[in-house]
Amino acid sequence: MARGEEIYNDFCLTCHLPNGAGVKDVYPPLAKSDYLAENRKASIHLLKYGIDGPIKVNGVTYNGSMPAMGLDDDEIADVMNYITNQWGNTNKNRVTEKEVAAIKK
């Protein structure tokens, strides 16, 4: 969690903001995000490879793009564990480095 927080602060906070709320119609929220809660594999995938094109989060369609940030698999696991356990999110089933490694383009 501590490592994930550091990564979040370094790489994610500028867009998704300190409270994970994002910016309406521009950067989707992570706090209480149904997308993040329900699409574990796709969330890991977009952290690994980036995402471009429409995505629906809590009923709002975002059509932006998020670049891959060149994080290592263990760093993606750490930041996933952080964002899925912050701001009211809970996920007891921890993401592991191995799980991230198994997600291919």
**Residue 66 half-sphere exposure toward CB, CA atoms < 13 A:** 24
With contacts defined by CB under 6 A, name the span among 7-15, 88-96, 97-105 that binds ligand HEC. 7-15
The secondary structure of residue 88, as a DSSP letter, is T
Which lies closer to ligand HEC via its Cβ, residue 51 or residue 101? 51
The length of the chain is: 105
User: Is residue 69 near ligand HEC by the rule CB under 6 A?
Assistant: yes
User: Is residue 53 near ligand HEC by the rule CB under 6 A?
Assistant: yes
Give the amino acid at 52: D
User: Is residue 51 near ligand HEC by the rule CB under 6 A?
Assistant: yes
